[in-house]
Amino acid sequence: MEKKNVELVDFHVHPLLNVVNEKEFLKEVEKANLDLVVLVALDLDPGFLEDWCVRRKFLEDCLELNICDCLQALDTVRRMLNMGHVDNNVVGKLVKDNPRRFLGIGSVNPCKSLSYVKEKLKEIKKLGLIGVKLIPTLQFFNPLREEKKLKEIFDFCEEHDKIVLYHTGCDPYLWEAPRFSENANPIYLESYVREYKNVKFILAHMGSYSSKYPGIWFREAVELGKKYSNVWFDVSAVPYLLLEKNYTEIIHREIGWDRILFGSDYPVVYNSSISSLISYLEKYSYLSEKDFCKVMGLNAVRLLGL
């Protein structure tokens, strides 16, 4: 990527072209005046729910949460996974068509076979994507149980200088229940971030996303960031981390602002646009101007070595 003046970077955007078509999507990016956008692939597979063991566990969890129509819930989840899936090639094509403005992060589902994981990593390398997105909620994996495949992924990241974008916190719909999202608690990452010191792990949502319990694993995320300098964060879907004093003070005191990245999660968060989110943050964030500039772009520039 050629060097240029990069000041405003959105590190977390989903090119869900079935939700927002390509033209609208590009218009939104233009409107927000972003210098650089990191597009995130999501390797999701509704077919996974056809596995009898997975389905049984899913239905048991539904019953535990007093969800009466478990089969309908199963159907909704299938639809969500279908809709949320973004192929690495889609991201690769958008980056190829807009090389001055887009960078892409690929995705691989660690629940699948080791040979599948290896194939996907090859694909990510071939497409020139800058990292790997993992999402234990929608990919239904437990980070400790999938150690072998995660190590394959992190070895790849270390060898090829790729970053890891790792979902932490809850997720919409059934995953609002911590029972469904517990695999996305940052505490399960400690052994990996310790072992892979040369790999930068970005904890998406800083452990905090939850509509029922905002800031659900914020504390755990902060602890990890305090201990390991290769742990970074994005504030996508949780802009209140920059707006509410009880969060900004903790970040300021315990981690500082050098490893915090702006992300919008567009278009996943409804009723919001990237430009209005940025204006709102400019107006109401608790950060000093210097720290604000770091979060909105300068940190990303440093992370990406631009």
**Nearest CB to Zn ion, comparing residues 10 and 265:** 265
Residue 69 Cβ, how far from Zn ion at the closest point, in Å? Answer: 27
Tally Cβ neighbours within 10 Å of residue 227: 11
**Range in contact with Zn ion (rule: CB under 5 A) among 19-27, 191-199, 209-217, 259-267:** 259-267
Determine whether 214 is exposed, middle or buried from the number of CB atoms within 10 Å of its CB (0-12, 13-18, 19+). Answer: middle
**Nearest CB to Zn ion, comparing residues 202 and 251:** 202
CA triple 124-217-185, angle to 5 deg: 45
Of residues 202-221, those binding Zn ion (CB under 5 A): none
Residue 236 Cβ, how far from Zn ion at the closest point, in Å? Answer: 6
Q: Does 234 bind Zn ion (CB under 5 A)?
A: no
Residue 12 Cβ, how far from Zn ion at the closest point, in Å? Answer: 6
Residue 223's alpha-carbon distances to 86, 139, 269, in angstroms, are: 31, 25, 27
- Write down the number of H helices and E strands in the chain: 13, 8
For residue 33, report the phi and psi dihedrals to the nearest 5 degrees. 60, 35
**Nearest CB to Zn ion, comparing residues 62 and 170:** 170
Residue 100's alpha-carbon distances to 12, 77, 89, 103, 282, in angstroms, are: 17, 36, 18, 9, 25
x/- map, 94-133, Zn ion, by CB under 5 A: ----------------------------------------
**Range in contact with Zn ion (rule: CB under 5 A) among 64-72, 88-96, 184-192, 265-273:** 265-273
Of residues 21-80, those binding Zn ion (CB under 5 A): none
Find the largest Cα–Cα distance for the chain.
55
**Nearest CB to Zn ion, comparing residues 265 and 291:** 265
**Range in contact with Zn ion (rule: CB under 5 A) among 123-131, 192-200, 225-233, 257-265:** 257-265
Residue 165 Cβ, how far from Zn ion at the closest point, in Å? Answer: 9
Q: Does 265 bind Zn ion (CB under 5 A)?
A: yes
**Nearest CB to Zn ion, comparing residues 62 and 124:** 124
**Nearest CB to Zn ion, comparing residues 62 and 138:** 138
**Range in contact with Zn ion (rule: CB under 5 A) among 83-91, 99-107, 181-189, 262-270:** 262-270
Q: Does 10 bind Zn ion (CB under 5 A)?
A: no
Q: Which residues of 146-156 are buried (b: 16+ CB within 10 A; e: fewer)?
A: beebbebbbeb
Of residues 138-197, those binding Zn ion (CB under 5 A): none
**Can you read off the two tokens belonging to residue 105?**
């992060």
**Can you read off the two tokens belonging to residue 99?**
């090389």
Residue 6 Cβ, how far from Zn ion at the closest point, in Å? Answer: 22
Report how far Cα 171 is from the mean position of its chain's Cα atoms: 11
Q: Which residues of 20-56 are buried (b: 16+ CB within 10 A; e: fewer)?
A: beeeebbebbeebebbbbbbbbbbbbbebbeeeeeee
For the chain, the residue count is 306
Number of chain residues interacting with Zn ion (CB under 5 A): 1
Q: Which residues of the shown chain bind Zn ion in the complex (CB under 5 A)?
A: 265
